[in-house]
A and B are shown apart, each in its own frame.
Chain A
Amino acid sequence: DAKTTQPPSMDCAEGRAANLPCNHSTISGNEYVYWYRQIHSQGPQYIIHGLKNNETNEMASLIITEDRKSSTLILPHATLRDTAVYYCIVRGSQGGSEKLVFGKGTKLTVNP
């Protein structure tokens, strides 16, 4: 089972910031938080990942709470092309399974 909880759907206006929450209350010390998105009929696209510090790249920012039990993916200026299913995944970095366990994700719809 997935170790994360996400809202099933969210809406955002084009040009506004999209803030996608994720709860991972059972995360352990060596587990990273990964975000992927999937546009219909394509494979999942890697967005960003982090351990405990906030991270930013050209696609998004990842804010992880100090207790690491939740995180937020921020798309600063959402466009129509950001409409997709967004997956938050927790995975360890040392030993254990290499697999990514996907939940149902959040369906983000960006409206014009």
Chain B
Amino acid sequence: DTGVSQDPRHKITKRGQNVTFRCDPISEHNRLYWYRQTLGQGPEFLTYFQNEAQLEKSRLLSDRFSAERPKGSFSTLEIQRTEQGDSAMYLCASSLGRVSHQPQHFGDGTRLSIL
């Protein structure tokens, strides 16, 4: 499978704990995106990387959230001191950025449940 891969698929944790998700983009895609989706809503943009540089961040990305893409390949999204409102599906997407209108391709997400 050469699509976007996300790990884990499901994460259940207690409020206040830290969690980290991983995203492996499609090979050779230099742009990587994180979105969050709550029940009944469309995905909402969180942040975007071009290679290892984080170029855009949403106001949704509070200081408890941090994303990295250290070598321009895989990316991690960490949430510190989780809260009930963090329960959501976290989606990763990637695109080939050499042509600016190339579509983003999504993984199947990590579903986070906060107890």
A interface residues (Cβ-Cβ under 8 A, vs B):
2, 32, 34, 36, 41-46, 49, 51, 87, 91, 93-94, 97-105
Task: Determine which of A43, A51, A93, A98 lies in contact with B91 in the assembled complex, contact meaning CB atoms within 8 Å.
Answer: A43
Q: How far is the CA of A2 from the CA of B103 in the complex (A)?
A: 17
Contacts of A103 in B (CB 8 A): 42
Out of B31, B44, B48, B106, which one reaches A43, CB within 8 Å?
B106
**Contacts A97-B56, A99-B48, A102-B44; A43 near B107 (Cβ below 8 A):** yes
A13 to B93 CA separation, bound complex (whole angstroms): 32
Q: Using CB atoms and an 8 Å cutoff, list the residues of chain B in contact with chain A.
A: 4, 31, 33, 35, 41-45, 48, 55-56, 58, 91, 93, 100-101, 103-109
Contacts of B93 in A (CB 8 A): 43-44
**Distance A70 CA – B107 CA, assembled complex (angstroms):** 28
User: Which residues in A have their C-beta under 8 angstroms from that of B104?
Assistant: 46, 100
Q: Is the CB of B100 within 8 A of A94?
A: yes
Interface-central residue, A43, A46, A51, A93, by most chain B CB under 10 Å: A43
Question: A105 contacts which of B35, B42, B103 (Cβ < 8 Å)?
Answer: B42
